[in-house]
Amino acid sequence: MRLALYAIMALSAGVASFFISNSTVVNMTAGLSIGLFIPVIDEVAQNWGNIRHLWYSLRHRNRTIRVSTSYLFKIYVDGKYLLVRGSRYPNQFQPVGGVHKVTPQGNAVLSGMGVTDDNLVPLDAVSYGDLRVRVPGKAIFGFFRWFDTRSGREDAPWREFQEELLATGILPPGEFPHIMHNYLRREVDAIRYSEWADSLEILVRDIYELVPNRDQEVALRQLAASGHPDIVWVTSQQIKRRGAVPGQRHSVEVSAHSKAVL
């Protein structure tokens, strides 16, 4: 609303300056127009995501868009990042994390928008409730407005941390009865056509950073020294190179989306 008001005022002042003969008034209206465009630019910058999704809703209103939202953990100790073996791609290592889960209340909201389950990943006990869905194009703006409220969906990274590192015995549960973390940012990919999904697709990632206490840091260092087969510790360069190390045999395959934790 503020964006539209600022834009209308700026345009009105700019247009008015062409019909005024008094140079002093012209300078004033031109200055007012320029001054009003500053908050317009600021509003656009702050609301770019919403504006982009509104455009998608208009441009692709008659198509269906695959949306997958997830969260990833940056676990960084002594200059290296912890990656775990993928469950669906066991030869690949990736950050701890996974797809957000949606609650029954959230499902009711999504059903009202015409959102349906994705059919690319088999629905089983692991994938049930995943926020990996097919959204009518006209509902993209509403979907992301709902997603931003954090209501009716998973809003903490603990579940995947517990499932991937504690329940598996990779880390000692006794040292991690709870965790502290920082929320770093959200990455929303621009819409694109996915051959794998055979549809337009938007991928969303929330990035968290583990903030271990002293005992947890000790446990992580012990893990690094253990040689556990289901984890690797890699540098930022290894992540950028998908696991490759110049002059060495390529022995670790790092997922493409691991770059998000850098």
pLDDT in tens, 105-156: 999 999 999 999 998 876 665 668 899 999 999 999 999 999 999 999 999 9
Q: Is 2 helix (H, G, I), strand (E, B) or coil?
A: helix
pLDDT band, residue 19 (cuts 50/70/90): very low
Same domain, 223 and 180: yes
Same domain, yes or no, for 171 and 247?
Answer: yes
User: What is the length of the chain?
Assistant: 262
Residues 155 and 29 in one domain: no
- Residue 252 DSSP SS3: coil
Whether residues 28 and 59 share a domain: the answer is no
User: pLDDT grade, residue 202 (50/70/90)?
Assistant: very high
Q: What is the pLDDT of residue 35?
A: 54
Residues of the chain above pLDDT 70, percent: 79
| 127 and 34 both lie in a single domain | no
Asked which of 11, 29, 46 is the last residue of a domain, the reply is 46
| pLDDT band at 5; cut points 50, 70, 90 | very low
Residue 146's nearest CA partner among 189, 186, 102, 177 is 102
Write out the residue range of the structural domain in which residue 41 sits: 2-46
For the cut 70, the answer to whether the pLDDT of residue 15 exceeds it is: no
- Taking only the tens place, the pLDDT of each residue in 67-86 is 999 999 999 999 999 999 99
Beta strand residue intervals within 22-94, DSSP E: 64-74, 76-77, 80-85, 92-94
Range in 22-31, 98-107, 235-244 the model is least confident about: 22-31
Please check the confidence at residue 233 and state whether its pLDDT lies above 60. Answer: yes
What is the arithmetic mean of pLDDT over 169-176? 97
Banded model confidence at residue 249, pLDDT cuts 50, 70, 90 = confident
Residues 31 and 74 in one domain: no
Domain count across the chain: 2
pLDDT the model gives residue 46: 61
Q: Cα(141)–Cα(202) distance, rounded to whole angstroms?
A: 12
* CA end-to-end distance (rounded Å), the chain: 36
Which of 44-53, 118-127, 226-235 has the highest average model confidence (pLDDT)? 226-235
Q: Please tell me the predicted confidence (pLDDT) of residue 13.
A: 44
* Better-scored residue on pLDDT, 16 or 197: 197
* Same-domain status, 23 and 96: no
For residue 46, report the phi and psi dihedrals to the nearest 5 degrees: -75, -25
**Which percentage of the chain shows pLDDT scores above 90?**
69
**Same domain flag for 85 and 175:** yes
pLDDT of amino acid 147 = 97
Please tell me whether residues 41 and 66 are part of one structural domain. Answer: no
- Do residues 199 and 108 both lie within one domain? yes
Report pLDDT for 24.
Answer: 52
